[in-house]
Each structure stands twice: as C-alpha cells, then as structure tokens.
Structure 1
Amino acid sequence: MNKKLLLPVLVLSTTVFAGTIAPLPSEAVHSEASTEAIAEKQGLNNGNKPLFVIEKQAVKQKASNAANALEHLEKNTSKYKIKNPKASLLEKKTEKDELGMTHVRFQQSKNGIPVEGSEVIVHYNQNNAITSVNGEFNTSVENAEVTTEPAISQEQALAAAKQAVNAPEKLDYAPSSELVIFPFGDKSYLAHKVNVNFLSEEPGNWYVYVDAETGKVIDQYNALMHADGYLPAEGSGTGVLGDHRKLHVSHKNERTGDGTKFYLQDNSHDGLDGIYTYDLAHQWGGLPGEVHSKVGSAWKAEYDEPAVDAHYNSEKVYEYYLEEHDRNSIDGEGMAIKSSVHFGKDYNNAFWNGHQMTYGDGDGEFFVPLSAGLDVAAHEMTHGVISHSGGLKYQFQSGALNEAFADIFGALVDEEDWEVGEDIMAEAAKESGRTSLRSLSDPSKYPVGSRYAPYGDGSGMYPSHMDEYYDLPRDLDNGGVHINSSIINHAAYYTGEQIGKEKLGQIYYRALTVYFTPDTNFSQARQALIQSAIDLYGEASIEAIATEDGLTQVGITE
C-alpha cells in the first residue's frame, strides 16, 4: 500500500516551506472587502494615496522631460493633490519606450530624503503631450514634521538589523544602508533602511527599517525571491529529465594532462556580460561558488545535470526577454546572469537573492533538482527583472503582484501549459496528486499550508477570486505574497486564453515597467494593466477588453 505523502508547500523565492498540508479548522476567519479596503487594513493606510489620472485631452508640452512634467503638476495641484511638486519630487529616471512614449518617474522626498514606496510617474505620448499621471504620493509625510538628522549611525543600525534577523557575523554580500522617510501605521519615521544578505540553511535577503532616532526596529521582511581569457565554444549535456541540451560554453587556450577543460560560461551574446553557472558543491554558503567545469565539452554525468539545465534555461529566459521585450538581461543593461547549483543538501527550493539565482537539488522524494524547470528559471529571473523595474515591495498585495508576475512570466517562457513547476516534481509527489507547484488555470486544485488556512474562506485552497482572499498578517508569508498571488495568476490565465500568451506578455510587461511603483496594489494593477492594453492595442480593442475581463472575473473590479 502506498503511503499518502504530505507535500510541503514549496515557496519559490522565500523560505523553504510554507508548512505542510493538515486538516482544516471547522471555522475560518474571513471578511469580504474591496481591494482598497484590504490594502488599508494591512497597514498601508499610512498616508500613501494612490494616483491614476487619465488626461481626457492630452496636455501639449514643448518637450517630454522632467522640468515640463513638474510644471504641469504645479499648475494642477488640486487635481493631483500634490501641494508643492517642485519641492517634494526628485527625478528618478526618464525612459522612452517602443511606442515613442516618454515616462518620467519621480521619487517623493522630504528635505532631500526619499519617502519609502512613494513614486509618481508622468507619461507623455510621442507628440510631447502628457496623457496620464500615476503612482502614490504620501500626503501625511508632506504635512508632517519629520526630523532629517539621524541620532543613530549606519553602523549602529546595521548591528540592530543583523541582530533582528539572526544574521551570521560574516555576510555573503556587503550590507547596504540608506536614510529614508518610512511611513508605518499612523506615523512617519526617519529610518535607516538596511539590506542584510546571507546564506545558510535559511538564507535571507532582509530589509530592516531601523528608527534613526531610537535604534529600534520598526519593520522587517525577507525579500529572498524564492572572466577574461576564456574562448567561446559549443558543448552539449544531459539535463535532469534526460533532455539533450546544446550549450554555449568557454575554454581557456590550454590543455591539462587529460585534455582541454571547459566551463559553463557563455560569452557568445553581444552586449551581455555573460551567462555563468556555478557549482556550490552542497555548501550552504560561499556564493557563487566555482564556475562549473570539466575536461571535455560534454556534460553527461549525473552530477552535471542540474548545472546543464540551469545554464540552458538561463539562456532561454534571456532570449525570451530580448526577443519579446527588447530587454537585455535582468537589469536591461546586459548584467551578467549567474546561477549556482547544488546549494546545500536536499534543499527543496530555488531563489533569487537580489544578485543571482540559486537552485537546490531537492530531496528526491518531493522534488528533483529545481533547475530542471524552465518556468522555475523564468520565475526567479523575473524577480530580478521586477527588482530593476517596478520594484514591487515584497509584502502584502505588492508582494503578491511580485510573485504573480514571476509565475506569469514563468508560464509565458515555458509555453506548453499554465502550470508552474511541473518539471521539478518527483515521482512520490506526483503519486500523491501534486503534479506542479501552482496552477494559473485552476489555482484551487492545490491546498495552502495549514498555518494559512484559518485566514481564508474555509476552503483551505489557493484562491481564484477576491472572495477567497487570505487576510494574512505580515509575519505569515509576508502577508500572503505566495498565497494571494494566485488571484492575479488566474486573471492572467483568463486574459491569455482570449488573446494568446504573446499579447498577454506584452501587456503585463508594459504594466510592470511603465506604470508599477513599489506599493502598487491589486486595484492599481487593474488600472495599469488596462491602460497598458489601451496603449498597445487601442481603447476598444479586443486586447483591452480581454484584460479588463480577466481581472473582473477574479473580482478585481475597481
């Protein structure tokens, strides 16, 4: 008799597990509310006011630049509810897109210090006319008296942050810190925003907000989103599932006693700093490890298989973003794409840590090596794209959007189906009924972890509609980033079935890169996605109607 396996809920990009599936309680805590009301309840009622204004008549300017955008905002303070735009908005970046539109992104500041999560974007058409303004502006910060002189040093803040997250003394990456105005609850704090990144059996990419006056931790969350002298060459290898892979590799112009040594290092793409696959040799630290190498250009040993898939899949994801969205690598500017395999022992996860992808080998019972999944690679690399684009904060609804977009682009790169992770499930998991990690077409076919079930509608399954939304606290799954993401996933599925995956990708990529800001919630995402479809295909187009319909079908209606 086969025993029934309780599959740990894999959380790509965060901690190893979200918990195991367990019997559900007879009663569940749930309250129906609009997306805006939920966002307010989750502690986002800190004065950050969503802004999305479509100009009925485009406002002509002499040029599409930041100066003219500020002048426009100054002339329309009552419309945008920004009292003094020139004093409170700093230009962050200005970009021109393939439609000829220009987008000026401003960072809200107070006395030159950035306000966390508050950005305003002014959009011009190709005729230098302002067509829309969107983002968030924090009116509470604008009106509040906030000191801008820290009493706590960066070194003291770092010590407090490391202690708060139990970081090891030696960090894998140098920590960073910046002074920000951090709205939290009903108060605005001057805070050191400290990033602490480390590897262990529970790796972390923590953001910790330390009160710059008292040294106390205000908030924290883990944003782990679960070579010169080398000559290009071609090689081949066998992947985890037995697939034959053609590989772009490198070698040095030298020979060992056994022959020429080759490296999983691809320098064949113009404008790209390379694709590198490293071997961590089952260590829990020491990223990125050593570039995976061997004598001869054929990687066919069992130990090579995870590296072969990581290398091959990284190139496939790179090609997707380049060909479909004219994006050169994760940052859009050709940054090196790095992956490390053989992380730890029996590690059932993969993650983006803010710098690179890292893959565990799985335990062989629930998961095979996670680099086997093209959609898993696309999921992790998309987290990198998000961090360099909309920068969605990894908490609550913005974090759920972050996870959803990683899943959605995973399903777009791996065109075969609407599942994520179907290629990394071990036989025992499949026998128990878990044939993938998540499903965009039918999210509710899988249960959430037992810790999350009481916060839903009582079904205990992944939600497909806002009526099934999980009202999780911030210390569980960062407020539901992996759970509530399935609602957005399902909306994308409905739209994709109507217009196809290629157009779906164009619309969702544009919303992410043009309209999203760090605190974008579900309601704002609806506006951004519909506007992106209108930009690309026209106001009454099938594509715009399908985008709106997908969101409406999952209950995101405002």
Structure 2
Amino acid sequence: MKKNYFVPVLLSSALVLSSFSAANVLAAPPDQSAKPWNETGSVPVFVKEKFGEKQVGSTAAHALDYLKKNEKQIGVANPDKNLKVKNIQKDSLGMKHVRFNQTVKGIPVEGAEVVVHYNKQDELVSVNGSHIPEATAEIDTSAAVSEAAAVEAAKQAVNAPAQLEETPSAELVIYPFEGTNHLAYKVNVNFLGEKPGNWFAFIDAKSGETIDQYNALMHVDNHHESVGTGVLGAQRKIHTTRTQLPSQGTIFSLSDTSHAGLQGIFTYDANDGKIFSNNSASWKDEYQHAAVDAHYNSEVVYDYYLEEHGRNSLDDKGMAIVSYVHYGENYNNAFWNGRQMTYGDGDGSYMVPLSAGLDVAAHEMTHGVITNSANLQYRFQSGALNESFADIFGALIDSEDWEVGEDIMGPGAKADGRVSLRSLSDPSKYPVKADYVPYGDGKGKYPAHMDEYYDLPRSLDNGGVHINSSITNHAAYLIGEKIGKEKLGQIFYRALTVYLTPTSDFSDARRSIVQSAADIYGEASAEAKATAEGFDSVGIYE
C-alpha cells in the first residue's frame, strides 16, 4: 500500500510520538501506558506540555520563538526557517490559533501543518499538527521541468478531456511519498463530462514523471421572493432576481443576491450552462423542480452555518454558492468538485433527482467548508473523516433523523430495502460493494466499530473514504443521542476549523473533538464525557 509518512506534533510531558501512516488502523487500547499530561481543564489534553512559566504572546513571531526554544521537545527543526504562517484565527471562545505550513527553502511541504494555540489571556496552551522531519534535510529545489510541461503531464495522467471548464492550477511543493521527499508540481485538473474529476496529480519536477495522483471529487431591491415546487412536491419559498427586459418583459432568475456579505446563490442548468430563468415568479414546471430544490437547500445550508457558527459561506469570506442540476444522463450521484455543487437526476428507479435531499446538499456544501478549513486529504483515514464530517453535518442540518439520502431513494431502491444512502445510527443495515468485502471482517456490511475496519487499497474508494467514515459517523450518533444535535454541531465544527489538519487520522479526530467539547463546555462536563465515551464505543482511542 502506498503511504505518506508524517510525525504528529502531539506533546505530553516529555514525549514526541514517532512516525505514523495515515493508512494505519489506530485503535490503541484504553489502558495505554503513555498518558498525556494534563494540569488544568482549559488546556488541550492531547497536546499539553508542562510549562516552566506562562508563555504570553499570541503573535506569529511569539509562536515561532516558542517553537524555536522548544525545538527538541516538539521535534520541528529550525522552525523560524522551515515554517511559514498560513493564517491566524480568533474563535468564538476568544482563543487564537496560529497555523503554519512546513516549508523547505520557501516551498511548502504537502499536508504538513503545525498549529499553536493561545487561550483568551494570550497564554500559549498547546501545539498540534504534523511535520516531515526528513524534509528539513538539504533538497535541491530547482525545477528541471516547466510548469506548463507538468500541467500537460498531469492532464495525460488523469485522462482529462481536451476541453476543460477550468484552467489547471499548479504549485511547486515538497511531496513526501513512499519514504522519499520529492520536489513536485501539485497540479489540480478539474473537469465535468461523462466521468467528472477533481484530480490532484503530483509531477516530479526533475523528471516529469507522475509520482502520485488521486481524484478528490467529493460525491452529494430587484430581489424577489418566488414560490416553486420541489422534486417531491414540497412548496418552496426561494429568493430570485427580477429583471425587466424591453423585449421579453419581466424575467425571474435563480440568482439570489439578497444576503449581505455573500456574493450570491446561483443555480444553473447543466445542459446549457445558464442560470435558470422563468417568466413568472411561480416555478412549477417539472423541469424546474430539481433547480428549485437545489436553490432552496443551498440557502438553508448557508443560513445554518451563518446562524449556528457565524460562518459566511463555504470559505467564511462570502464566496458564491453555485449549483448545477440535470447533470449527465440517469446520473445517480452528486458531488462537490472544489468549486461548485453538481446534482444528477438519478435513474428514476434507484434514485430521484439528488437535489431533492437537504442532507445531500448539506453534505456537498460541507465538503466546501472542509476544503476551506482543515482541508482533509481525500484518501484513507483523512478522507474518511472528510466524508464523515460531510455526513454528520448533513444529518445535523436535515435534523429529522440520522439517515443520509432518505429523500432521494427511488421506488426500486426502496423495494429492495435501501431507504437511504447511509445510516449513522445503524451503519450495518446496508452492505458494501462485493469487491470491498475481502478487506473487512467478512460480513460485508458498513462498519460501526474499528474491529470491522476495511483496510482498503487506494484503488478502491480512495482507501475507504465512504466506507470507514461510518465508524466516526456512528460515534457522532452516539454522542448526539446523549447531548443533542445542536451541541454536537458546535463541538464538531470547532474541531474541524480549529484543530484538524490535512493529514489528521481517526485518533487525531478523537483528541480534537474531545478537546473541543472540553473547550466549550469544560473538561469535567457531561458533554466532554459523552464525547469521549462515543469514541470509546466505536474503538477509537487516543
């Protein structure tokens, strides 16, 4: 199995953990001998170091100075030389978080981030993340291959169509892969078509060869209030734009620019690439139903993140929310491609148009939130966490049950007993694909515990991103049943946006989520206890 190797920055009293692989199954027993040191409930248990004196600062310069003074304990060599500030965040609890990318001669190391956390008194309380120790060695960072040549190599590697909707982007990075640190171009090739893709290809900057590649396509007062009919017959109030045209009269479009600070919510027809328009404020034509649902659900999800978490759109900067409907032919899928939501119409038997599902829309839009926060790599356990957070927020926003996709299942699927895509409360109610079965415990069901983990190669489901996600999904369900969905959302959102980094695995998630509960509600709180117990119940330990 191909692996990337990182060292987690997780401090106990005097312990820096050794290297790990994101593909490992991490189920350390609860009675492990090396316990994280902890002194006060306000300090993250999983990253606490016993300070000789209070470290007060909260600036990037202070964080770097601390990392430099404690270089041996933390394990990041020459931090002032090898770390670059990515951002500084202040959260709703008054804590500040200085996030760094590891770099070599100014070139970022792919996936390697270190975060320094300060409490509201500007006292440094914790450090977490991951880095590549070997990347600090001398690496020749002069590229022998041009960026244009790398882009062409990437397009060939991923079988990209000749015509692309977006110009590929390329960035020079240090790419740790199978024990070697490569100077490489990270090329993002994004396209629609019969087999849509959001590919990341890593092209060796010395030889032009493809080192690695994976598909990160993540599958599900001129303002006017209109009324439309959704796929399942529900009446929707939607915000549209009314325009008076001399030759056509009054035209209404699925273009919502009524929200302050948001670029807008726009819904397009994938068949002609145009924003849906109508000569009436009443959207009742059958062809419009999928668009009405996509437009309505986009606003519901936007409102949730704004009202519950103070987040302004997917990037927290007011980016436009764009959806395409009627994609493909009999297309039983929906996806986030890094820029937009795209919904198929289903085949009418197994699925109906996928924009009908609020939880499907929430799932896909949450992928956008993840891209713009922890940016969890879409493979193996970090990818499973990516899918899991999308499922969990889907179930939180469509809050009537703990199922995902119950509103998009067609009559044929229901007749076969498939009444949803996945279940957080009972993952094992559904079977996995036949070619996945040999990699699990033999039962062929979605797992609810680490004992049932599927050790899949990346060639199958990107290493189990849609399969093993059900383990952390079930943990969230168990926690939510004890503390309620609103508190669950606050805890998981904080972990996603404050603590997790691109290569976080299941153990990292447990530590981050438990700590988030302690941050918000107190270390001895019922919420923190329930969160820890939820992960214990599915076999994910520290």
- Which residue number in structure 2 is paired with residue 79 of structure 1? 73
**Is 2:57–2:124's contact at 8 Å kept on the other side of the alignment?**
no
How many residues are matched? 504
Which residue of structure 2 aligns with residue 299 of structure 1?
Answer: 283
Could you tell me how far 1:83 is from its partner in structure 2?
Answer: 2.2
> 1:411-430 counterparts in 2 under 5 A?
411-430=395-414
SS of 2:224 mapped into structure 1: strand
Which of 79, 85, 91 is residue 91 of structure 1 equivalent to? Answer: 85
User: Taking structure 2 as the reference length, what is the TM-score of the superposition?
Assistant: 0.91
Deviation of 1:253 after TM superposition, in Å, equals 2.8
Change (3 A) 1:538 1:57: farther
Q: Determine if contact 1:60/1:128 at 8 Å carries over to the other structure.
A: no
Residue number in structure 2 paired with 1:181 = 174
- Asked whether the equivalents of residues 243 and 252 of structure 2 are also in contact (C-alpha less than 8 Å), the reply is yes
1:262 aligns with 2:252: yes
Distance 1:85 1:394 in 2: 27
Counterpart Cα distance in 1 of 2:418 and 2:227: 32
Aligned 8 A contact 2:22 2:503 in 1: no
Aligned twin of 2:299: 315
Cα deviation for residue 55 of structure 1 reads 3.5
How far apart, in 2, do the equivalents of 1:529 and 1:99 lie?
Answer: 15
More RCO (CA 8 Å, sep 6+): 1
Pairwise CA distance, 1:60:
3.5
Give, in whole Å, the separation in 1 of the partners of 2:528 and 2:427: 24
Structure 1 residue 547 displacement after superposition = 0.8
Amino acid paired to 2:90: K
- Of the three residues 255, 263, 266, the one matched with 1:273 is 263
1:350 partner amino acid: A
Counterparts of 2:491 and 2:21, CA distance in 1: 26
1:77 positional shift: 1.4
Paired position in structure 2 for 1:231: 222
Indicate if the aligned counterparts of 2:56 and 2:124 stay in contact, CA closer than 8 A: no
Which residue identity does 2:164 align to in structure 1?
L
Q: Deviations over 1:223-264 (max 9, x none)?
A: 1111xxx8201100000000000111111133555x511001
Q: What one-letter code is carried by the residue in structure 2 that aligns with 1:526? A: R
Q: Does the 8 Å CA contact 2:227/2:235 hold for their aligned counterparts?
A: yes
Alpha-carbon contact 1:240-1:305 (below 8 Å) kept: yes
**Alpha-carbon distance in structure 1 between the residues aligned to 2:354 and 2:141:** 46
User: How much is the aligned-residue C-alpha RMSD, in angstroms?
Assistant: 1.5
2:541 alignment counterpart: 557
Q: How far did residue 487 of structure 1 move? A: 0.4
> What residue in structure 2 maps to residue 251 of structure 1?
242
Runs of 4+ aligned structure 1 residues displaced above 4 Å come to 56-59
Identity %: 62
The amino acid of 1:130's aligned partner reads L
Tell me if the contact between 2:23 and 2:380 (Cα under 8 Å) persists in the aligned partners.
no
- Which residue of 2 is the match for residue 286 of structure 1? none
- Any conservation in 2 of the 1:255–1:261 contact (CA below 8 Å)? no
**Residues 1:39 and 2:22 aligned together:** yes
**Alignment match of 2:372 (pick from 376, 383, 388):** 388
Cα offset for 1:350?
0.4
- TM-score, normalization: structure 1? 0.88
Correspondence 1:214 to 2:207: yes
Residue 115 of structure 1 is matched in structure 2 by: 109
Give the match for residue 185 of structure 2: 192
Match of 1:19 in 2: none
The alpha carbon displacement at 1:63 in A equals 2.9
Query: Any idea what the Cα deviations from partners look like across 1:356-377, whole Å, max 9, x if unmatched?
Result: 0000000001000000000000
User: C-alpha distance in 1, partners of 2:508/2:213?
Assistant: 24
Q: Is the 8 A contact 1:397 1:522 kept in 2?
A: yes
State the secondary structure of the residue aligned to 1:260: strand
Letter in 2 for 1:472: L
Secondary structure of 1:150 counterpart: coil
User: Cα deviation per residue 1:459-481 (whole Å; 9 max; x = unaligned)?
Assistant: 11101000110001111111111
Residue of structure 2 equivalent to 1:22 = none
**Structure 2 match to 1:202:** 195
Change in CA separation of 1:138 and 1:297 when aligned onto 2, cut-off 3 Å? same
- Please give the per-residue CA displacement for 1:514-535, whole angstroms capped at 9, x wherever unaligned: 0011000011111111111111
Q: Indicate the residue corresponding to 2:15 in structure 1.
A: none
Q: What is the deviation of 1:428? A: 1.1
Alignment check: 8 A CA contact 1:120 1:135 kept: yes
Shift of the alpha carbon at 1:52? 5.0
